[in-house]
Amino acid sequence: GEDVEQSLFLSVREGDSSVINCTYTDSSSTYLYWYKQEPGAGLQLLTYIFSNMDMKQDQRLTVLLNKKDKHLSLRIADTQTGDSAIYFCAEGNQGGKLIFGQGTELSVKP
């Protein structure tokens, strides 16, 4: 079945770049998403990329998609302590259902 995998933890220093990786299995995915979850809060849509794109940049965020390898990454430039959160990768198809990864907990140390 469809599956999305992420590493569970990432620790970086403030000011460094963070790269969070994700692999997925469904080649028919139309959109791929990154959501951010702060403690005790819901999921906030950070960015998304259409499956026919390779890259999308939005201020400090860069999303790279390697469709051949089914690999998605989220790069956060100049990471700040306020970026500490859990980041979820998700794939979606035309049915409107999302499959989420387990989430990557990003810890930013001052």
Q: Residue numbers of the site for other proteins (CB under 8 A)?
A: 4, 8, 30-31, 35, 41-45, 48, 88, 90, 92, 94-98, 100-103
Cβ at position 51, least distance to other proteins in Å? 11
Comparison of 17 and 102: residue with beta carbon closer to other proteins: 102
Comparison of 95 and 110: residue with beta carbon closer to other proteins: 95
Cβ at position 55, least distance to other proteins in Å? 19
Comparison of 4 and 76: residue with beta carbon closer to other proteins: 4
Using CA atoms, how far apart are residues 91 and 6, in angstroms rounded to an integer? Answer: 12
65-71 CB contacts, 8 Å cutoff, 24+ apart:
65/32, 67/27, 69/23, 70/23, 70/24, 70/25, 70/27, 71/21, 71/22, 71/23
